[in-house]
Structure 1
Amino acid sequence: MMNLTEFRHKYTPIINSFLEKHLEEDIDNKKFSNIMAYSVMAGGKRLRPLIYLATLASLDHEINEDDIKTACGIELIHTYSLIHDDLPAMDNDDYRRGKLTSHKKWGEAEAILAGDALLPLGIQWIAQGSKNITEVEIITKAVGPNGMVGGQYLDIDSTNNSSVKDNGEFISKMEWLKTGCLLQASVEMAIAKVAETDKNKITALNKFAYTFGRSYQIYDDLVDVVESSQEAGKATHKDEAEGKNNTFTLLGLDESRQELIALVDEGKKSLDIFESSLLAEFFDLYQKVL
């Protein structure tokens, strides 16, 4: 099996090609298509679709066009969340992935509508690609009021709220819902697609999904501290100044890094059951903050 570098080099262009082609072909209004595609095609690691595909590969599933469509549906949903998070009413960011955010480029109303359109289109692609109601149920739960959107509400509600700044349980829950749920869903959808029944493999993948999903938000918070805006492609050094409550503001730099290292070790060990290190290599993305 390929290592992660080889896997990304193979499938990232395939993902990008599918996104570019179908965002143009599947949307009747070409101006609106351009607005939607602007944020989707702005770059990014394609982390969630790659994790979905890598989980399929780890379960010896031969990746096909339907799987690519499902993976790209996940990316549309992720991009919708970024567009809305960047809005003035939310995080009020001017740059994302090194480019103007959607509302700065096109206007606030246009950005809201682009996000509104990407969410159902992503679900549509997942339904068409998976042909499996279970995968649709997994993703909709992951992004709904008890998932990503609920986590974003907790983030907004807790900003500048001193009563929760030392509440580690609250912060862990908020960060899990904001970020972990969608990453976990990417793994769970692949398990459902393959209809995997080996309980040991399912346990291992669920542990990987939890540790990666939990650790990724800590990593992202550390990026805000250790990288410049140019390196990160977005505004940095702003969370603490804006009264955000997260693992970094709770623990500080050194303890946050130790928490991240512990989660990485736990996640990698959980995958020992697999001969390939493909999924474990996703944790290597964190090296620049460790």
Structure 2
Amino acid sequence: MVDFKTFAAQEVPPFEAYLVEQLEHIEEPTLQAAMTYSVMAGGKRLRPLLVFSILESAGLPINRAAYRVAGALELIHSYSLIHDDLPAMDNDDMRRGQPTNHKVFGEAQAILAGDGLLTLAFEWLTTTDLTAEQQRQAVQLLARAAGPNGMVAGQIEDIEGQTRQLSLPQLKQLHQLKTGCLIECAVGLGAMLAQLSVDQRASLRSFARYYGLAFQIQDDILDVTSTAEIMGKAVHKDAGEHKNTFPGLLGLSEAQTVLKETCQAARAALSHLTGLDQALLNSFLDYFKE
């Protein structure tokens, strides 16, 4: 059985080589450097790996069309991090152990690098070796996940939430939008590429919803318990900035309990998935044990 770590070690290097190759087509040199800097700054590549894992679980090849679709998703994720780090947003100096984009290239250039990644993502989706219907589905999935009823809505709720105490359902909703929508999009894109059934897609969406929530709870916990050296970014910022977090709302111990329960719910969702090998997707939940 291939587990998450083995799968990532196998799939990430050729995928990243593809990203570098494609980003070289950007003609303006400063823009090319700034966009590539953030896309290639490291990270777990969880979202592309979720796309690839569905193809793997369905016994289908992970080809250049899959790289292009998963790459578009990673461009959106990278753009969101560039803008999230800006002084007007979270005002972060470090990301993945390196200076943030605006610290290297300047604020205006960072904004434009994010804009470039956002728009390039949709160019990639419409220049793939897929049918016109698959391209339409992919564009719709990514636009909904990243747009004003998805990630962008979650970001503004996060900003406005700093002025008030959120309830647990409100906090879950915030992070379902801010973090969970792109993770749901990843499994949606994988299911589109694999041409899965309606029932299979529903099980995967449920899994992704819990997975995205678990990812955010873990991130909130690590902001309390980890170090900047391990995280590659500033920690202990959330409380000082009056952000709503799971440890802040529930306490650290209860947040850890909710994390375990959320992972169990994700596994339960996968148990209803038929026609695919569940082992690899289940191993993605091992991330939360580390």
State the TM-score bracket (shorter-chain normalisation).
over 0.9
1:193 aligns with 2:190: no
Contact 1:35 1:114 in 2 (8 A): yes
Contact 2:31 2:112 in 1 (8 A): no
Query: What CA distance in whole angstroms lies between the structure 2 residues aligned with 1:198 and 1:184?
Result: 15
Contact 1:135 1:193 in 2 (8 A): no
Residue 18 of structure 1 corresponds to which residue in structure 2? 18
1:237 paired to 2:239: no
Q: How many residues align?
A: 283
Residues of 2 paired with 1:31 and 1:168: CA distance?
43
Aligned to 1:270: 269
Q: CA deviation at 1:14?
A: 1.1
2:283 counterpart of 1:284: no
CA deviation map 1:189-232 (0-9, x unaligned): 11122221262x33321221111011111111111111101100
> Who is 1:136 aligned against?
139
Match of 2:221 in 1: 222
Counterpart in 2 of 1:173?
A: 173
TM-score (normalizing by structure 1): 0.93
What's the CA shift string for 1:139-198, capped at 9, x where partnerless?
A: 100000000001000001111x23xx2422211111110000000010011112222126
Letter of the structure 2 residue corresponding to residue 124 of structure 1: E
Asked whether the equivalents of residues 221 and 248 of structure 1 are also in contact (C-alpha less than 8 Å), the reply is yes
Which of 138, 155, 159 in structure 1 is aligned with 2:158? 155
Percentage of matched positions with identical amino acids: 40
Contact persistence 1:74–1:126 (CA under 8 A): no
Shift, 1:127, TM fit: 2.7
Corresponding letter in the other structure for 1:51: L
CA distance in structure 2 between the aligned counterparts of 1:275 and 1:194, rounded to whole angstroms? 13
Counterparts of 1:211 and 1:115, CA distance in 2: 28
Distance 2:47 2:82 in 1: 16
CA contact (8 A) 1:102 1:111 kept: yes
Q: Which runs of 5+ in 1 are unaligned?
A: none
- The Cα shift of 1:285 comes to 0.9
Deviation at 1:31, TM superposition (A): 2.6
Gaps of 5+ in 2: none
The TM-score, its normalising length taken from structure 2, stands at: 0.93
Partner Cα distance (1:22, 1:190) in 2: 21
Task: Report the RMSD for the aligned CA atoms in angstroms.
Answer: 1.4
Q: How far apart are 1:10 and its partner, in Å?
A: 1.3
Q: In structure 2, what is the equivalent of residue 184 of structure 1?
A: 184
| Distance in structure 1 (CA, Å) of the matches to 2:179 and 2:203 | 20
Shift in Å, 1:43: 0.6
The alpha-carbon distance between structure 1 residues 156 and 198, as it changes in their structure 2 partners (threshold 3 A), is: closer
The residue matched to 1:128 in structure 2 has which SS?
coil
AA at the equivalent of 1:127: T
CA contact under 8 A between 2:221 and 2:246: conserved in structure 1? no
Matches of 2:286 and 2:211, distance apart in 1: 11
Aligned partners of 2:96 and 2:231 also within 8 Å = yes
User: Residues 111 and 205 from structure 1, CA distance in 2 versus in 1: closer, same or farther, beyond 3 angstroms?
Assistant: same
Q: 1:88 to 1:198 in 2, by over 3 A?
A: closer
One-letter amino acid of the structure 2 residue matched with residue 144 of structure 1: G
Q: What amino acid sits opposite 1:267 in the alignment?
A: A
Could you tell me whether the CA contact under 8 Å between 2:47 and 2:73 is conserved in 1?
yes
SS, match of residue 197 in structure 2: coil
- Residue in structure 2 matched with residue 28 of structure 1 by the alignment: 27
Q: Which residue of 1 aligns with 2:39?
A: 40
Question: Residue 279 of structure 1: SS of its match in structure 2?
Answer: helix
Residues 104-142 of structure 1, C-alpha deviation per residue, up to 9 Å, x if partnerless? Answer: 111000100000000111122123235421111011000
Identify the residue that residue 247 of structure 2 maps to in structure 1. Answer: 248
The alpha carbon displacement at 1:240 in A equals: 0.9
2:119 aligns with 120
| Mapped partners of 2:62, 2:161: distance in 1 | 42
2:144 maps to a residue whose letter is K
Rounded to whole Å, the distance in 2 between the matches of 1:147 and 1:275 is 29
